[in-house]
Amino acid sequence: MQLQRGQVVEFDIHALAFGGAGLGKYEGLTVFVDHVMPGDRVKAAFTRLKKQYAEADLIEIVKPSADRIKPCCKYSEVCGGCQLQFMPYEKQLEFKKQHVIDAFERIGKIYSPPVEDVIGCKDQFYYRNKMEFSFGYDAEMNFALGLHLPGRRYDILDLDVCYLQSEFTVVILNAVKKFMIALGWPPFKYSCGQGFLRSLYIREGKRTDEVMVNLCTSDDLPSAIEEGLEAFVEMINSLGKVSSIYWTQVISERGKARKFKEKLLDGKTMLREEMLLENGDSLYFDIPPQAFFQVNTFQGEVLYGEVLKIAGLKEHGTVFDLFCGTGTIGLFLAKHGEKVIGVELNEDAIKVASENARLNNIFNIDFFHGDVAKMLRNLKEQPSLIVVDPPRAGLEPKVINQLNKFNAPEIIYVSCNPSTLARDCGLLAQYGYKVEKIQPVDMFPHSFHIESVTLLKR
């Protein structure tokens, strides 16, 4: 009998793929289905049929896995923020470690890779220091403030609770929603480009208790905007604890790059956060509204601590910190080396990095704005250690070629994507670099994401 779309079949789930989809077999065909875990027996309806695999929507869990647990969040089955809440945390860590191993063997062709056990997150809920909540409409076109539904470009899941950032975040979320409904300001409709309210950003200093609220809107201003913003500031301040309130207009014109117009409505211009490593190193960071900062402060400390451990805390000569972002790794390395050179394409990030170097009285680090591949051609220093922390796409071949020319004895590769990490380590192996250690660090409990710190030597 030929399989058809919409056909409901029953099968067992035996593994998880990267991305969190469950893997099962039906009549020899591999089937991907979401919201399941190994050990589940499920009924699912085919949505896509290919020669080598199929995709299906979950209809029913016929028999749950013995390891399955009840999620604490009522939105877990529809929200994309915590895909694996139904899985015990120790099982999540096992899955993430195996995914790193599989990536190295399948993609990098590096067999029996030296992958350590995943360093788990002490706080599995309320761990994020930044959240973006979107204004919009739910499926019934009611006012909504929450998160985008997975696979739905325009529909917003209206939230009144979230376990990702903090209990105070939920207080702000619900207060802003109530305020905006009463005020009558319309959410922005992405489908037609009309409306006002776009998103609500909330940042927290996990070690400093500072809070930044940033209301992002379009530039299609409603009437009585000044009075409305004054009332908004008064309402936010009545909640207590908030140290900065911003209003950011997102200006979009067809054929032109998007622009952001920020206005400080009340409080401090930046949020200050502290990072404290296990070895006692401490740094402060001033973070403006649009700047990137590691979203899990405490586990970020663990990640950067692993970088320092692997580096050996020895007096390296010159260290290259490539794709340095706002300079967090480089600034910690500068406390233990002669000189650090940071390179980053994002000019705003470089400005923040330089300011935070001055804030912490660190003067043996230089930051350069530019494309990493181009900058490497112009750097004359000979590094004894190179640290790379590229985006999810990994390293371009021309960057790997440039790294080889510096002949650094050690490379530390910080990655948020096991697939591109494995690919790049396989390419670096062709230049004589051997993977000595891979330390996964779980930055995002209940999701499939995993960070890794990898040491390569030659």
Query: How many Cβ atoms are within 10 Å of 262's Cβ, its own excluded?
Result: 14
Torsion sign across C-alpha atoms 135, 137, 139, 145: positive
Burial call 172-189: b when 16+ CB within 10 Å, e when fewer: bbeebbebbeeeebbbbe
Active-site residue, selected from the candidate residues 72, 73, 192, 416:
416
Torsion sign across C-alpha atoms 130, 136, 139, 141: positive
Length of the chain: 458
Q: What is the DSSP secondary-structure string of 185-243?
A: PPBPBTTTTB-SEEEEEEEE-TTT--EEEEEEEES-PPTTHHHHHHHHHHHHHHTS---
User: What are 156's strand-pairing partners?
Assistant: 148
Which is nearest to 123 in space by CA: 98, 172, 89?
Answer: 89
Query: How many Cβ atoms are within 10 Å of 320's Cβ, its own excluded?
Result: 28
| Euclidean distance between CA atoms 169 and 162, whole angstroms | 8
| Euclidean distance between CA atoms 114 and 250, whole angstroms | 46
Helix (H/G/I), strand (E/B), else coil: 348? helix
268 backbone φψ class: left, alpha, beta (φ>0; ψ -120 to 50):
beta
Q: Which residues contact 438 (CB under 8 A, 6 or more apart)?
A: 100, 104, 113, 114, 115, 116, 452, 453, 454, 455
| Annotated catalytic residue 416 | yes
Catalytic residue positions, numbered = 416
